[in-house]
Amino acid sequence: MFAPRQSYLRRAPYNWQHFSEKLRDLSQKRQPMTNPVQPTLNTPPVPNGQLVVVVGAGGGLGTAVAQQFIAQGYSVVTASRSSEPPCHGATWHCPCDYSDDGIAELVNGVSALLTEHPLSLARLVICNGVLHNERIRPERTMKRLQRAAMVEVLETNAVVPTLCLGAFTDLLVKAPAPKVAVFSARVGSISDNRLGGWHSYRASKAALNMLLKCAAIELQRLNPKAAVLAFHPGTVDTAISKPFQRGVPEGKLFSPDFVASRLLTLLDTLPEGHELAYLDWDGKPIEW
């Protein structure tokens, strides 16, 4: 039988003083971020005072989103794995490997921009996602599941976007009414899954949605005017959909520019302080 709760407590009294000393040690060891990154500006910030950060700007949708924000007169920071800026006209391009240090460098650079220029963080758009690459094929059956591929898909689709969002928390808290969009997918909806297949991709987007829910709840407590969008772009003509475009019905394969402009409009119309919306390119809600 289990020992009664009280006697257990008596046998193992917790040393709270030791615990708080440990905590103090840990917080002293945590170094403040030194060497703030001084971004090398590609173009000076534009005068409308609104800064947008596009993470994963090297992909088909990320590039289109960054270009449209630039065309609308925002100052834009792009981050991608490439050292080449994905488009002309961005204020700063940050090559980022999405490691902890890489993400910290991006956030540091954006923070420096916000300190040194009359800018406020208006939008954060995170586009990262993988369905296939030289190591990964979307699985059709359970037998095809492979540990390394599953981990890579979960890392790229759920872990990296949420770590990026988490790293921006302090800047999002200080921003007047920031709006965040993260590229999810309809196949991440558990209730919408009638066909099965694409196990890792579906699971990673479902995990992303849950992580976004937690982030949005927390963010709203910290900044009640912040809003978060889990966005499904539809099937878009980019590298990720290339091998799967044959079965797409006529008129349902969208261009990145079309979807980017839908996203910008959705973000404009998303009410301030909306905790988390899960919307498609047409602004229609998706069941979780």
Binding site for ligand NAP (CB under 6 A): 56-62, 80-81, 98, 127-130, 156, 160, 183, 185, 233, 235-236, 238-241
Q: How far is the CB of 57 from ligand NAP (least distance, A)?
A: 5
- CB-wise, 51 or 96, nearer to ligand NAP? 96
Buried-state track 72-81, b at ≥16 Cβ within 10 A, e below 16: eebbbbbbbe
Contacts of 114 (CB under 8 A, 6+ apart): 51, 120, 121, 171, 174
Nearer to ligand NAP, 91 or 157 (CB): 157
Q: Which is nearer to ligand NAP, 109 or 129 (CB)?
A: 129
Tokens of 251: 């008129």
Give whichever of 94 and 223 is closer to ligand NAP, judged by the CB atom: 94
Considering the complex, state which of residue 39 and residue 58 has its C-beta at the smaller distance from ligand NAP: 58
- CB nearer ligand NAP, residue 153 or residue 223: 153
**Min. distance of Cβ 98 from ligand NAP in angstroms?**
5
Which helix (H) or strand (E) covers residue 63, if one does?
helix 60-71
Cβ distance to ligand NAP smaller for residue 125 or 216: 125
Min. distance of Cβ 116 from ligand NAP in angstroms?
A: 25
One-character DSSP codes across 152-196: HHHIIIIIHHHHHHHHTHHHHHHSSS-EEEEE--GGG-STT-SS-
Residue 50 CB, nearest distance to ligand NAP (Å)?
22
Which CB, 223 or 230, lies closer to ligand NAP?
230
Given a contact cutoff of 8 angstroms between Cβ atoms, the answer to whether 245 and 253 are in contact is yes
For the CA atoms of 221, 281, 83, 102, the dihedral, rounded to the nearest 10 degrees, stands at 20
Q: How far is the CB of 233 from ligand NAP (least distance, A)?
A: 5
Place of tokens 């270009």: 67
Q: Any idea of the CA torsion for 213, 215, 217, 218, to the nearest 10 degrees? A: 160
Phi first, then psi: give them for residue 127, nearest 5 degrees: -110, -5
**What is the nearest approach in angstroms of ligand NAP to the Cβ of residue 137?**
15
Strand positions, DSSP E, the chain: 50-55, 75-80, 92-95, 120-126, 179-183, 227-232, 235-236, 253-254, 277-280
CB of 128 to ligand NAP, least distance (A): 4
Does residue 92 sit in helix, strand or coil? strand
Do the beta carbons of residue 149 and residue 136 sit within 8 Å? yes
CB of 104 to ligand NAP, least distance (A): 16
